Amino acid sequence: MPDTTIRARNRADENEVEDQRDEGESCPECSGNLITDSEHGETVCEDCGLVVEEDNVDRGPEWRAFDAKEKNEKSRVGAPTTNTMHDKGLSTNIDWRDKDAYGNSLGSRQREKMQRLRKWNERFRTRDSKERNLKQALGEIDRMASALGLPENVRETASVIYRRALDEDLLPGRSIEGVSTACVYAAARQAGVPRSLDEIADVSRVEKSEVARTYRYVVRELSLEVKPADPESYVPRFASGLDLSDEAEHRARSLLKTAKEQGVHSGKSPVGLAAAAVYAAALLTNEKTTQAEVSDVADISEVTIRNRYHELLEAEEGTVAL
């Protein structure tokens, strides 16, 4: 949410500078002020002349009005739009009653026709509802991804996964929040920049358990290929969080590699392994870190770090002896 508040402030600032009109948006090309030209229905940049938006709907009164009476007569007609309805009240509703506008019953021909129309109207409407759903979800994905510091491509894949979930009708019975969170989680793992479930749940509006459940569900239904998280992929993040040298980071990696060869890590949480490796590496390179600090940045208990890093060092000794 910090994202939007910052934007809102910027907008306000720009509004103070410019006295023209428009919502304070600036030109994507040269960041000059935008002015709306309602005569041509365009939004153009003051400086470079770039047309940002064409075919604006003119919501103003029709023609010119010279006095109040005419102004009333010539204003446009129709129901006002509202934001309290998802489609601003603009979509068509077809009554279920087989009556015409005067309340007379319809003939059988007409009834059949209305049935067909209802069906198709409903089909198009649900398509729209999916669009709206998607829009909201994408916003959420974006929010969470930036809160977690995930790169652009992760957002992309998360969106793609979400779209697929939507196409396969996985949404009914599940919250948009939950599914988008699961998508972010999956995307991050696929991209090799995994975040732990706890981290994910922290920025999401849903419980960790629900995220986990939804994630499993989505992965199964879409048969996504997502390998168990590689402990090594956590190392850089932890290392930089603790201000460790590249040397230590490298040590941590090789520690994990030998551990992998020895098969020490089966069934253990990758995060714990990574944290332990980082701690062990810091020890080996004589850099000051405490278990408490590592436990803090990795969100892993000290006990787990202790247990794991013993195992890691044992595995290392085993290979050295060979």
Q: Which residues pair with 26 in a beta bridge?
A: 33
Of residues 58 and 221, the one with the C-beta less far from DNA = 221
Residue partners of 306: CB distance under 8 A and separation at least 6: 276, 291
| Minimum distance from residue 235 beta carbon to DNA (Å) | 16
Task: Give the shortest CB-119-to-DNA separation in angstroms.
Answer: 41
Nearest distance, CB of residue 90 and DNA, angstroms: 45
In the complex, the smallest distance separating the C-beta of residue 229 from DNA, rounded to whole angstroms, is 11
Of residues 138 and 203, the one with the C-beta less far from DNA: 203
Q: Which residue has the tokens 């949480």?
A: 269
Nearer to DNA, 52 or 212 (CB): 212
Rounded Cα distance between 157 and 73, Å, is 53
Residues that bind DNA (CB under 7 A): 197, 208-209, 212, 266-269, 272, 289-292, 299-304, 306-308, 310
> Which is closer to DNA, CB of 130 or CB of 268?
268
Nearer to DNA, 34 or 273 (CB): 273
Which of residues 159 and 291 has its CB atom nearest to DNA in the complex? 291
Shortest spacing between CB 239 and DNA, in angstroms? 16
Spatial contact of 201 and 207, defined as CB atoms under 8 Å apart: yes
Q: Both tokens of residue 216? A: 């499993």
HEC sequence for the chain: CHHHHHHHHHHHHHHHHCCCCCCCCECCCCCCEEEEECCCCEEEECCCCCEEECCCCCCCCCCCCCCHHHHHHHCCCCCCCCCCCCCCCCCCCCCCCCECCCCCECCHHHHHHHHHHHHHHHHHHHHHHHHHHHHHHHHHHHHHHHHCCCCHHHHHHHHHHHHHHHHCCCCCCCCHHHHHHHHHHHHHHHCCCCCCHHHHHHHCCCCHHHHHHHHHHHHHHCCCCCCCCCHHHHHHHHHHHCCCCHHHHHHHHHHHHHHHHHCCCCCCCHHHHHHHHHHHHHHHCCCCCCHHHHHHHHCCCHHHHHHHHHHHHHHHHHHHHC
Give least dist CB 60 to DNA, A.
Answer: 58
Closer residue to DNA, CB minimum distance, 104 or 266 = 266
Residues 277, 244 contacting (CB under 8 angstroms)? no
Cβ proximity to DNA, 233 vs 307, nearer residue? 307
- Supply the minimum distance, in Å, between the C-beta of residue 274 and DNA: 11
Residue pair 248/280 in contact (Cβ under 8 Å)? The answer is no
Which CB, 137 or 274, lies closer to DNA? 274
How far apart are CB 100 and DNA at their closest, in Å?
56
Least Å distance, CB 208 to DNA, is 6
